[in-house]
Copies of this chain bind each other. A is one copy, B any other.
Amino acid sequence: MLALRKTAPAPGLELLNTSQPDKLAENEVMIAVAAAGVCGSDLHVDDWSAGYEFMVPLLPVTLGHEFSGRVVAVGSAVRSVSVGQRVTAWPSAPCGVCRACKTGRPQNCSDKRTVGLYRDGAFATHTVARESGVFPLPESVDFELAALVEPLCVGARAVNVGEIRQGQKVVVLGPGTIGQAIALFARLSGAISVAVAGFDDGSRLSVLNKLGFEDTFDLAEAGSADELFQRFGNADAVFEATGHASSIADGLRLLRNEGTLVLTGIHAEPTTINLLEIVRRKLQIRGSHGSRREDWARVIDTLEHRGEEFRGMITHRLPLSRALEGFALARERSASKVLILPDEREAQS
């Protein structure tokens, strides 16, 4: 089958033919991929940025961890999923028996083997996932919405970490997929006003406008930062989804006393923080990473009822044979979520 793979510990990816997975452990499920999203992490792996050294002993690895598809085979002990079902899958489904799992924190599982990073993923025609992470799709959730579940869960989790409540004022720094997911779930969780800021990010901010967010700010424009601080200072929560360290100081300054700054960006550089302000103003900084099992059920339920509110996040759809073109688009400011469609049925640029 065709697959987009990291083959060597150096920049670049290869689109090549490889054999289809053929044996399943007793608790595994084989899925014919229908759609797979390109994530910022995939770009980092392509670029071979720092932070992905764990992949070296595992190479070659097929990328793709945000996906949906149809079950084509199940392991001998699988009981909750059956051949033919339409599904999506939590790529980091926990092992169930390591110390973190046994003590009730499966989200910290030490043996996750994330699909698309630790084992072959979904930029291919077929992939394999742990039964405990495979979620059947409601009828009203089509494959392309289902491919959004993974990044939506990242956003939904960050919003939970920020404990957003009805009536709050929220600022999201970063208008990419993660920032969009955060803004959407902050609004769904009761935030009464949500601002989103980007930097020289017109096309992504216009995706946000289409998603119904009127208060967007392009900080590259003169006066925009001032307006953000004036109208959204005293925020209950700020979410950083830029990966840029400079967002930290901005975020803290936007908060009301006792407010919370949630970090989701993968940062290459440390930053300096003013501890006196943290203490005297009783601020909080909270890291959020990945999602939890309960987020998956909740996000799928939400898509079942209100899926169309999310479709605007997808700006491009490409066949697997043109996957690298999709990566290029994702790297540009023009694209938001790019989907790779292995079977080429629904592909369009």
Contact = CB atoms under 8 A, between A and B. Distances in A.
B132 A298 contact: no
A156 interface: yes
A97 interface: yes
A333 interface: no
Given A108-B257, A132-B97, A280 B287 contact: yes
Q: Assembly of this chain: how many copies?
A: 4
Contact of A283 (B276, B287, B298): B287
Given A258-B108, A287-B280, A270 B267 contact: no
A276 B131 contact: no
A15 interface: no
A281 to B, nearest CB: 7
B192 A165 contact: no
A159 interface: yes
Given A97-B131, A288-B282, A293-B104, A245 B275 contact: yes
A79 interface: yes
A21 interface: no
Interface in A83-101: 96-98, 100-101
Nearest to A281: B287
A160 to B, nearest CB: 8
B97 A79 contact: yes
A284 B285 contact: yes
Given A104-B292, A306-B192, A278 B285 contact: yes
A98 B298 CA distance: 16
A274 B298 CA distance: 30
A266 B276 CA distance: 6
What is the size category of the interface that chain A forms with chain B?
35 or more
B272 A272 contact: yes
A12 interface: no
Given A192-B306, A302-B166, A305-B193, A103 B278 contact: no
B282 A132 contact: no
Contacts of A285: 278, 284-286
Interface stretch (A138-146, A183-191, A316-324, A339-347): A183-191
A221 B210 CA distance: 42
A61 interface: no
Contact of A80 (B98, B248, B258, B292): B98
19 contacts: A103-B294, A103-B296, A105-B294, A107-B258, A108-B282, A166-B185, A166-B190, A167-B301, A192-B302, A263-B275, A263-B279, A267-B279, A270-B272, A271-B275, A273-B273, A279-B287, A281-B289, A282-B288, A282-B289
Given A103-B297, A264-B279, 15 more contacts: A26-B77, A102-B297, A166-B188, A188-B190, A263-B279, A267-B276, A268-B276, A270-B276, A272-B273, A279-B288, A281-B287, A281-B289, A282-B286, A282-B288, A284-B287
